[in-house]
Structure 1
Amino acid sequence: MRTINSARYTYTAMAIHWMVALLIVCAFTLGLVMTDIPGLTPTKLRYFSWHKWLGVTVLLLAVLRVLWRLFHPTPPYPPTMKPWEKLAANSLHGLLYVLIFAVPLSGYFYSLASGVKVVYLGLVELPALIGPDPELKPVLKAVHYWLNMLLAGCVGIHVAAALKHQFIDRDGVLRRMLP
């Protein structure tokens, strides 16, 4: 007999989760598209701006999400989950939180090392915490790329685990994050 977990996240936590998920998919896709455009065209520059805006928005929502979570604990896992599954889930969630901060920050520092300011929504210039640095630029570019690839892999595992819980285990884990 399967146990259904009825505990759920708050609607605020759900909204932040799904907004961050959508923005990450958009930023990742836009990043792949824009880097494949040859040369420095107006379209490519526009996509770079949008990509940065998405990244800053993810970072702001990540801060909001962490603050929300400090005062609103996560619902418990179903009792049918094995201890190793709970450990894996907690570890993956922890890594996702780290990456949701690290990816936008690495992009921000890569942009600064490239000598390009970040102007959020074309209105708010973010502070330049570092100056242009031709030696640091390729390092930060690689860091940003590989953190994105790691984030994509972790998101894939996260989605696969949620679907496993929904369709194989039928234990209500996915339902906790659905409005």
Structure 2
Amino acid sequence: MPKTSPRSDWHALSRALHWLIAALILAMAWLGLTMGDLPNGPDKIATYALHKSIGLSVLALAALRLLWRLYAGAPGAVAGTPRWQARIAGVTHVALYALLLALPLSGWLLNSAAGFPLQWFGLFNLPALAGRDEALHALAVQAHELLFWTLAGLVVLHAAAALYHHLFLGDATLARMLPRGWLRAGGNPTPENHDA
């Protein structure tokens, strides 16, 4: 059952998942943008396999984060935030969650339509989402690329908004997503306190 008491910041698990997913997305982006240029061979196969395994990890972690958010809730907008900014932030969060789920699913689909097996770090196989189908594969490739660039653009805007709030508005929007004690609005260390 969701918590009803409002939080002033993000729960420690939400913060940990946020930064872990961000790091994995950066790793996947770098792999995805460079692996196509690798010469054919074992290294290229291993790089593709790593990209797929990280993608599956992002899918699982994004689902976990969404479920946790539904259970634990999220802090309201920082005091003084205009209603239109709070609404844009809400829409952005929904879009980010949707993309974090859709992007790896599109990769899973394109892998299935190509007829390749899918493993998670070589530990176990995952079922195909579709049979081998060249037309579906081509469509899934286009969707995967479109979703990636949409996510990249939204992440840049998300990060820019957080930095704007911190550097120019001096509020706690960024600080409450960082580990405890890192920043206070204005860049000063925050006092330590416990998670609810």
TM-score by structure 1 length? 0.94
Asked if 1:92 is matched to 2:98, the reply is no
Deviation of the 1:67 alpha carbon: 1.3
Q: Indicate if the aligned counterparts of 2:118 and 2:126 stay in contact, CA closer than 8 A.
A: yes
**1:172 counterpart residue number:** 172
**2:12 counterpart residue number:** 11
Asked if 1:29 is matched to 2:65, the reply is no
Deviation of the 1:123 alpha carbon: 1.5
**1:139 counterpart residue number:** 139
| Deviation digits for residues 30-54 of structure 1 (CA, Å, limit 9, x no counterpart) | 100102224x222111110000010
| Deviation digits for residues 102-151 of structure 1 (CA, Å, limit 9, x no counterpart) | 00000000000011111111121001121110111111001001100000
Matches within 5 A, 1:99-138: 99-138=99-138
> C-alpha separation between the residues in 2 aligned to 1:173 and 1:101?
25
**1:41 counterpart residue number:** 41
SS in 2 for 1:135: helix
Deviation of the 1:79 alpha carbon: 2.3
Q: Indicate if the aligned counterparts of 2:107 and 2:140 stay in contact, CA closer than 8 A.
A: yes
**Larger relative helix fraction:** 1
| Deviation digits for residues 135-173 of structure 1 (CA, Å, limit 9, x no counterpart) | 111110010011000000000000000000110011100
SS in 1 for 2:129: coil
Q: Indicate if the aligned counterparts of 2:28 and 2:54 stay in contact, CA closer than 8 A.
A: yes
Asked if 1:70 is matched to 2:73, the reply is no
Q: Which amino acid aligns with 2:171?
A: D
Of 29-38 and 10-19, the range deviating more from structure 2: 29-38
Q: Which amino acid aligns with 1:59?
A: L
SS in 2 for 1:172: coil
> C-alpha separation between the residues in 2 aligned to 1:74 and 1:101?
19
What is the percentage of aligned positions where both structures have the same residue? 39
Q: Indicate if the aligned counterparts of 2:112 and 2:131 stay in contact, CA closer than 8 A.
A: yes
> C-alpha separation between the residues in 2 aligned to 1:139 and 1:88?
30
**2:183 counterpart residue number:** none
RMSD over equivalenced CA pairs, Å: 1.1
Q: Indicate if the aligned counterparts of 2:31 and 2:51 stay in contact, CA closer than 8 A.
A: yes
- Which 5+ residue runs of structure 2 have no aligned equivalent? 1-6, 180-196
- Which 5+ residue runs of structure 1 have no aligned equivalent? 1-5
SS in 1 for 2:134: coil
Query: Which structure is richer in relative contact order (CA contacts within 8 A, separation 6 or more)?
Result: 1
Q: Indicate if the aligned counterparts of 2:108 and 2:129 stay in contact, CA closer than 8 A.
A: no
TM-score by structure 2 length? 0.86
Q: Which amino acid aligns with 1:115?
A: G
Q: Which amino acid aligns with 2:135?
A: E
